[in-house]
């Protein structure tokens, strides 16, 4: 087994993602944009409200979600983005897939009309449960960097294509060609020496991808499924926008 302990970190009871849901109960349901922002700001502390709104607007313009449809969020974290989409577009029969059991339990306290699944960090283990269920839109936000290997990434892509009727957005894929620059920026932001950074991420390596990797997978899958795709830059409001890109897949 390859070293990759992100799934263990995400399940620690004291991990900062496992925030007390009570702090959000005072926010009225109609203030779902603010509530979504506060949830996302836990994961992205450098994200201000204005930037968050622009990022949400960017993502919505790509997905082109219609009211009363459904969405799948792969790697949904604490549910911040998923909560926004469900409330904005009145979505139902949604799917939330997350590797962390505490985060799934947290989501269940405030996200409705959604089915929740605990994912496995090294193999697709929930496809049989979803074999007869399709979703209108799929969303994957900043999680490909945590995958254990390329084979798992490929399986996730095929899973999303197979289960989705319309559009798929894989948001914030770390760019292989900016790897050194990105790592250096993160290291300085965390105020770590080179050796401290290496030790911290020894068993939780960040994965970077060339666009060619996705092109090869998608060209192979086009013999089984009907879709088109394109790459886009991240919006400039996104944290570290220079170091990632998006993949959008349009089902036909």
In a domain, residue 162? The reply is yes
In a domain, residue 141? The reply is yes
In a domain, residue 133? The reply is yes
For residue 101, the model assigns a pLDDT of: 86
Which domain does 225 fall in, by range? 6-251
State the pTM of this model.
Answer: 0.91
41-55 pLDDT, tens per residue? Answer: 888 878 899 999 999
160-206 pLDDT, tens per residue? Answer: 999 999 999 999 999 999 999 999 999 998 899 999 999 888 888 89
In a domain, residue 110? The reply is yes
Check which CATH number belongs to the domain holding 156 and give it. Answer: 3.40.50.150
Total count of domains within the chain: 1
Q: Which residue has the higher pLDDT, 82 or 78?
A: 82
Burial of 192: CB neighbours in 10 Å, binned 0-12, 13-18, 19+: middle
Q: Which two tokens stand for residue 179?
A: 């790897």
Looking up tokens 């909560």 gives 83
In a domain, residue 200? The reply is yes
For residue 1, the model assigns a pLDDT of: 46
Q: Which residue has the higher pLDDT, 44 or 17?
A: 44
Q: Which two tokens stand for residue 146?
A: 């945590």
In a domain, residue 180? The reply is yes
In a domain, residue 1? The reply is no
7-16 pLDDT, tens per residue? Answer: 777 765 545 5
CA distance linking residue 161 with residue 220, whole number of Å = 12
């Amino acid at each position: 087994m390859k070293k990759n302990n992100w799934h263990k970190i995400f399940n620690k009871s004291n991990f900062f993602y496992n925030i007390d849901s009570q702090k959000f109960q005072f926010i009225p349901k109609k203030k779902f944009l603010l509530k979504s922002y506060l949830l996302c700001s836990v994961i992205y502390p450098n994200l201000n409200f204005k930037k968050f709104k622009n990022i949400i607007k960017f993502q919505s313009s790509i997905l082109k979600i219609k009211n009363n449809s459904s969405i799948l969020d792969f790697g949904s974290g604490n549910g911040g983005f998923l909560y926004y989409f469900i409330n904005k577009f009145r979505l139902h029969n949604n799917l939330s897939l997350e590797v962390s059991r505490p985060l799934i339990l947290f989501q269940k306290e405030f996200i409705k009309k959604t089915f929740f699944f605990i994912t496995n960090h090294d193999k697709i283990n929930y496809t049989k449960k979803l074999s007869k269920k399709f979703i209108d839109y799929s969303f994957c936000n900043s999680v490909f960097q945590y995958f254990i290997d390329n084979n798992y990434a490929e399986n996730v892509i095929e899973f999303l294509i197979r289960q989705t009727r319309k559009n798929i957005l894989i948001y914030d894929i770390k760019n292989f060609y900016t790897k050194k620059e990105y790592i250096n920026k993160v290291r300085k932001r965390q105020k770590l020496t080179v050796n401290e950074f290496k030790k911290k991420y020894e068993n939780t390596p960040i994965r970077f991808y060339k666009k060619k990797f996705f092109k090869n997978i998608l060209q192979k899958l086009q013999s089984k499924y009907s879709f088109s795709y394109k790459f886009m830059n991240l919006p400039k409001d996104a944290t570290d926008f220079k170091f990632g890109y998006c993949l959008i897949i349009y089902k036909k």
